[in-house]
Amino acid sequence: MSQGFNLFSQAGGLTYSTLDTTWFLLSTFLLAANTSTTRSYAIPNSGLIRVQVQMINTPPASTEDYAPIVSISGNSITVGPNSTGTSSASIITVLLSVGAG
């Protein structure tokens, strides 16, 4: 019996399965508040980059906090402040998916 994790679209079609996709950690880095960076990675043609953002500062109760915006283009990612021009300090984790999923 196989075990794994599956994601389905609203129409019921399988969109992701851990049974046919392997994830690799490409990098993890700290992005300071209100800054931006672009990073490129050597990935295979069949690879797919995904980015996780974890905000690390707790804002005061009366203040909104904004996550940085992530843009992925080919083998490069750009992470920076959102349209308000501000963003919280964050840990950025870059993953590579290789497989049929």
Domain count, the chain: 1
Q: For 94, which DSSP code? A: E
Q: Is 31 part of a structural domain of the chain?
A: yes
Q: CA-to-CA distance for 89 and 81, rounded, in angstroms?
A: 10
Question: Domain residues for 83?
Answer: 20-99
Q: Please give the model's pTM, rounded to 2 decimal places.
A: 0.74
Q: Is 68 part of a structural domain of the chain?
A: yes
90-99 and 48-55: which strand pairing? antiparallel
Q: Is 94 part of a structural domain of the chain?
A: yes
Higher-pLDDT residue of 87 and 99 is: 87
DSSP-assigned beta bridge partners for residue 78: 38, 71
Residue 1 has pLDDT above 50, yes or no: no
Q: Is 14 part of a structural domain of the chain?
A: no
Tokens found for residue 94: 């870059």
pLDDT at 2: 60
pLDDT at 101: 47
